[in-house]
Structure 1
């Protein structure tokens, strides 16, 4: 999952991808149409959007398509500033998404990320987490966003960490919990690993973080992706099961959401070259060569131009939501609304 900077940068830029959804079809095996993702009634649903003036209209339209199925909108809206000493304020596009969500009776979470133009930065996270003064500045900024901006909570999305960052992350979460209003929630996005011990290596002391974090989102995607691997499923179902089982050794099921991809990758030749694509772009690029891989529960295509595509569409999301329900999870979290298929309750 988003362990490498090149892969994360592609996702952060995904808000600029064209979003053209075709009509739904009863034939879920047909990769050229857009089946709606079906979420079991008992699961909570978070849908993500990236705050960007250029993508504001697309994000609003994507939310409208899936509004009835969504409980929480996660808005990737603020980033840690250079040196880890502050947090950039949210802009109007983030506030517009928050207002749309809350006007529809949904919760709105503000995501804080350790990322910039080049993707997620472990160095930036270390600069923040290792300094009490820097943590205080960032906590103060996030608390101001929640209190003055009307957000329902904060999601910490810190990636590309190391084991040495774990104590500082625990301190940061605890300090944020103490500063926020009692009714404000804290959730945390967590990179996946197939081994229980691997979460500590990734910088997440999940047992200690549980004292401050209400809910964890397991980002069960980017098993493969352009920039860091050869072609393969974005998050194949067998691999998703492995990372989920490892996480459940550390986090109670009712405090865990399964993160699911609503996008794909197009490799342009041998190796890792290519880029992220929306589901609609993947269907177009497949040129009618796409097929459903039942084992991985994703679509793949080799259209004959030297490229290879893998993408996670509505049918893929349904399979992972069913897995989440079978494991007794709190819910699912879809990255992201503007690049994936519509969502509805099954």
Structure 2
């Protein structure tokens, strides 16, 4: 019986020893740091020997650069979106362009030479190379014109780019320590950080801090292995372009004069006779006439001379709306065609002794045009400035779908940015409404001023309104379904005459800053938000309050004579 008891105790003791060993082994395994090392090629997701990982401002990006003949080349989209959006790549003609304040730099793909306006220069290696339909640009070439610094590290290839300046945090390793993929001692090791090695602290946690080493490896270190965080400051040594503008030392009072044929130029004296205070006239003289960038002209030197004798500058308008067969996208997205357009505009400005050009390009498809429109403005600006010609650009009231107009960049290159503060409701609208309610215009000005300095902003105002005609059979359901409401354009006097003919009355509406009239005749309801001296004064007060560069008016001939008394009280 004793032998049996001893056997049982022996078995139990052995079981306890085994259990204890298992617990100890588990504890050792749990608390022993992993010595597994993460392969950096895998960490950076590199698949080819010529690929280069890109670390941008403490973050490993998904984009890859390439090593070509020992030099770093980076794809155009990354350059444009992250380093310098002023670079423009024409994938139709395989040419890279960059506009400075005075010159246009251009580099053809696979060539070592490039152009600075009309002068040729040799770079010594390819500036742009194409791989699988992707344009790669020499990073050092990009850096010449851009505000960033970079460091190239090998094994594996990676570049660490810094383009954000100001304060950042650092710490040093108290002793040799492991940098791991994630927080936790079981996470694979990315690198062994040496004692006193400095790292950039990206995020601080309770026990682990996210850091980046000087060679661009981002991971986690135990907080107890790091010294106290210190704050440092990064400073840029880049000198950006300083943009100069041709600006007047007086408020702009501009009016558009619609000219549809040569003989209409002869009416300039009679058109101006009923006005006061105008110092800039913009005749609608030029328009895109084909898909090669050629323009049609209705210009008249006699017209210009007459205006100059009256002390009035001429900023001729160039449009893309008249010839429906001319494809604006085709012209703007092909450098040879776009530059032909630029050259023709400037040639006309010189030939007719114009003081300025007013660009009015509308109804463009932003997705198709992309950056081609703003590149057109850059290139036109350089040649206008070199010839002393003022450049103004017409813009819609800011909306998300017009962001490709890039008003902020326009402000760098163009002299004036014009807000077309009208067509809030337009032909084909599904609801009747004002052409330019005060709240809508005010918001448009505020949004523009977020991107453009006030002394470059000209507020465009309408001399016309719309008379909306709503048949009695129309229902609210029709409007909700997007049915178009018929309307007709009326000038100021014509609108007043129309109301008088129907014996209609008008009432002032503070919310839209306009007189309003509504009446029914022969089963049709008419709605009119009037444009007159009172509505114009509300917007002119806005010009004065916001210290804008001035105002412009569409179009001469639509106004009543009393409007000029109001205009000259605010624009002088």
* TM bracket (short chain): 0.7 to 0.9
Alignment correspondent of 2:487: 274
Alignment correspondent of 2:332: 129
In the alignment, does 2:332 pair up with 1:332? no
Quote the Cα distance in structure 2 between the aligned partners of 1:83 and 1:290.
50
1:255 shift after superposition: 0.5
Secondary structure of the 1:304 match is strand
Encode CA deviations 1:164-218: one digit per residue, 9 max, x unaligned: 324111221122123234311100000113x5x5541xx3112222232000000
CA gap of 1:166–1:247, structure 2 versus 1, over 3 A, is: farther
Secondary structure of the 1:222 match is coil
Which residue, out of 244, 264, 279, partners 2:465? 264
CA gap of 1:232–1:96, structure 2 versus 1, over 3 A, is: farther
Q: Any residues of structure 2 matched to 1:88-103 within 5 Å, and which?
A: 88-92=296-300, 95-103=301-309
Quote the Cα distance in structure 1 between the aligned partners of 2:529 and 2:271.
22
Encode CA deviations 1:266-304: one digit per residue, 9 max, x unaligned: 223244212211111111111242423232122332343
In the alignment, does 2:142 pair up with 1:142? no
1:79 shift after superposition: 0.8
1:58 shift after superposition: 6.0
Quote the Cα distance in structure 1 between the aligned partners of 2:377 and 2:433.
35
Encode CA deviations 1:85-117: one digit per residue, 9 max, x unaligned: 21112244xx55433322211111011111026
Quote the Cα distance in structure 2 between the aligned partners of 1:100 and 1:265.
33
Q: Which moved more, 1:55-64 or 1:182-191?
A: 55-64
CA gap of 1:145–1:290, structure 2 versus 1, over 3 A, is: farther
Which residue, out of 434, 447, 465, partners 1:246? 447
Alignment correspondent of 1:167: 371
Secondary structure of the 1:244 match is helix
Structure number with larger C-alpha Rg: 2
Quote the Cα distance in structure 1 between the aligned partners of 2:283 and 2:530.
23
Quote the Cα distance in structure 2 between the aligned partners of 1:63 and 1:303.
35
Quote the Cα distance in structure 1 between the aligned partners of 2:327 and 2:302.
28
1:125 shift after superposition: 2.2
Quote the Cα distance in structure 1 between the aligned partners of 2:353 and 2:380.
16
Secondary structure of the 2:405 match is coil
In the alignment, does 2:392 pair up with 1:177? no
CA gap of 1:269–1:340, structure 2 versus 1, over 3 A, is: same
Residues 411 and 453 in structure 2, CA contact (< 8 A), matched pair in contact too:
no
Q: Which has the higher contact order (CA 8 A, sep 6+)?
A: 1
1:319 shift after superposition: 1.1
Secondary structure of the 1:337 match is coil
Alignment correspondent of 1:210: 411
CA gap of 1:150–1:316, structure 2 versus 1, over 3 A, is: same
In the alignment, does 2:549 pair up with 1:313? no
Residues 299 and 352 in structure 2, CA contact (< 8 A), matched pair in contact too:
no
In the alignment, does 2:509 pair up with 1:293? yes
Alignment correspondent of 1:104: 310
1:331 shift after superposition: 0.7
1:149 shift after superposition: 0.8
Secondary structure of the 1:323 match is helix
Alignment correspondent of 2:209: none
Gaps of 5+ in 1: 1-41
Which residue, out of 223, 239, 243, partners 2:424? 223
CA gap of 1:340–1:309, structure 2 versus 1, over 3 A, is: same
Quote the Cα distance in structure 2 between the aligned partners of 1:131 and 1:150.
29
TM-score (norm 2): 0.49
TM-score (norm 1): 0.78
Quote the Cα distance in structure 2 between the aligned partners of 1:316 and 1:284.
18
Q: Any residues of structure 2 matched to 1:42-57 within 5 Å, and which?
A: 43-53=251-261, 55-56=264-265
1:326 shift after superposition: 0.4
Looking at secondary structure, tell me which structure has more strand per residue. 2
Alignment correspondent of 1:72: 280
CA gap of 1:106–1:128, structure 2 versus 1, over 3 A, is: same
Secondary structure of the 1:339 match is coil
Question: May I ask how many residue pairs the two structures share in their alignment?
Answer: 295
